[in-house]
Structure 1
Amino acid sequence: MTRIIGLAGWSGAGKTSLIVKLLPCLMRRGLSVSTLKHAHHRFDVDVPGKDSYEHRRAGARQVMVASGLRWALMTELGTAPEPALPELLARMDRVDLILVEGFKRDAHPKIEVHRAANGKPWMRPEMPGIVAVASDTPPPYDLPRVDLDDIEGVADLVTAHAAPLCAIRWDMRQEA
């Protein structure tokens, strides 16, 4: 059964760095793990000049690139709305765990990633769904917490608080 947990925090808190350190730790524990990251801005995963880029630029709605090592599917939305998190998750292969970076207002459980030097406020209680904290300073509320540099401890939080994908009530999206 696939389980899901998010890492939520303001820009600059260290979410991506934490995921990069966390992935090998979780895999050493025998878990198959995928990630899904939300980008708040226009992004491109293709390289100008490559055939797939030229296909997309010429107007292809979808471009798939495949090799013996990997495959990727790029979809141009055009004027269609951005897919919701459940729609994106439905397109992913089955794994033990999906780590979600971003999508902080969605209904899945989240670990708040907080770095004091970032100067940003704590996300909770304005951002419900936070079940634990990875930070370099104690939070102003009572939830399980580990230090940002304690990767094994963060992995423990992830495995303890990840929820079965089928149990998430997606209609509970927060508007905070």
Structure 2
Amino acid sequence: MKVMGFAGWSGSGKTTLVEQVISVLTARGYAVSLVKHAHHSFDIDHAGKDSWRHRQAGCREVMVSSGQRWSLTRELRGAPEATLDELLDKLGPCDVVLVEGFKRAEIPKIEVHRAVVTEPLLFPEDGRIVAVATDTEVSTTLPTLDINDPEAVADFVVGYLAL
């Protein structure tokens, strides 16, 4: 399984860029999966829905299935957060997994940076960052990619991972 991360501060445009790169890669025939890290409590289902009610009643896992998709929700109920490796092990076969977030993961990552974000760049401290997708000049020897050119970012992913 080949994995490429997208890391950056909140507001940098990670989600938009990842969404666009997924569209480009799938249009080229690649099977793409995604793991996204959330820093806060989130719900896939909503209050009042059957699956939400079952989780609230105490289920550790709730699976919902239809003719179009299935989804599994696991409540940690005080257990430690899953590692990226544990999450990757749960995915089905694909050509590439894109990982959004997981800034500190030991995987190759593209840093996503916009000039409007005032947080410091990650790459000087993270040797796993292999390129920077940005809308501004960045002083680095790493490849710099235009954050507004998802085709070029997808080309980099394909080349770097030898897809």
TM-score greater than 0.5 by the shorter chain: yes
Q: 2:70 aligned with 1:71, yes or no? A: yes
- In 1, the alpha carbon distance for the partners of 2:119 and 2:85 equals 28
Deviation, structure 1 residue 137: 1.3
Taking the aligned partners of 1:133 and 1:109, their CA distance within structure 2 comes to 12
Residue 127 (structure 1) aligned with residue 141 (structure 2): no
**Does the alignment pair 1:30 with 2:29?**
yes
Q: Which amino acid aligns with 1:135?
A: T
Instruction: Structure 2 unaligned segments of length 5 or more: list them.
Output: none
Q: Structure 1, residues 91-134: CA drift from partner, whole Å, max 9, x if none?
A: 00110000000111111100010001112211111122000111
Matches within 5 A, 1:104-119: 104-119=103-118
Using the alignment, how far apart are the partners of 2:45 and 2:162 within structure 1?
A: 33
In structure 2, distance between residues paired with 1:94 and 1:130: 25
2:11 and 2:92 map into 1 onto residues whose CA distance is 29
Q: Is 1:3 matched up with 2:34? A: no
Query: Following TM superposition, by how much is the alpha carbon of 1:146 offset from its aligned partner in structure 2, in angstroms?
Result: 1.3
Q: Does 1:153 align with 2:152?
A: yes
Q: Give the letter for the 2:139 counterpart.
A: P
2:42 corresponds to = 43
Aligned to 1:143, what secondary structure does the other structure show? coil
Question: Structure 1: 5+ residue runs without aligned partners?
Answer: 165-176
Contact 1:4 1:163 in 2 (8 A): no
Please give the per-residue CA displacement for 1:18-39, whole angstroms capped at 9, x wherever unaligned.
1111111111111000110000
**Percent identity among equivalent residues?**
52
RMSD, matched Cα: 1.3
User: CA 1:163–1:91 in 2, change beyond 3 Å: closer, same or farther?
Assistant: farther
Q: CA deviation at 1:82?
A: 0.4
For 1:162 and 1:101, locate their aligned partners in 2 and report how far apart those are by CA, in whole Å.
17
For residue 159 of structure 1, give the secondary structure of its aligned residue in structure 2: helix
- Indicate the SS of the match to 2:62: strand
1:46-65 equivalence runs, <5 A? 46-65=45-64
Distance in 2 (CA, whole Å) between partners of 1:162 and 1:99 is: 11
TM-score, L = length of structure 1: 0.89
Partner of 1:117, secondary structure, is coil
Q: In the TM superposition, what is the alpha-carbon distance from 1:163 to its structure 2 partner?
A: 7.7
CA contact (8 A) 1:3 1:98 kept: yes
Could you tell me how far apart the structure 2 residues matched to 1:162 and 1:12 are? 27
> Aligned residue for 1:168?
none
State the Cα deviation string for residues 52-79 of structure 1 (Å, max 9, x = none).
1110000011100000000000001011
Number of residue equivalences? 163
**1:119 aligned partner, one-letter code:** T
8 Å CA contact retained: 1:5, 1:161:
no
Looking at structure 2, the residues matched to 161 and 13 of structure 1 have their Cα atoms a distance apart, in angstroms, of: 22
TM-score w.r.t. length of structure 2: 0.96
Could you list the per-position Cα deviations for residues 129-171 of structure 1 after superposition, in whole angstroms to 9, with x for gaps in the alignment?
A: 000111011222111111111111110111122389xxxxxxx
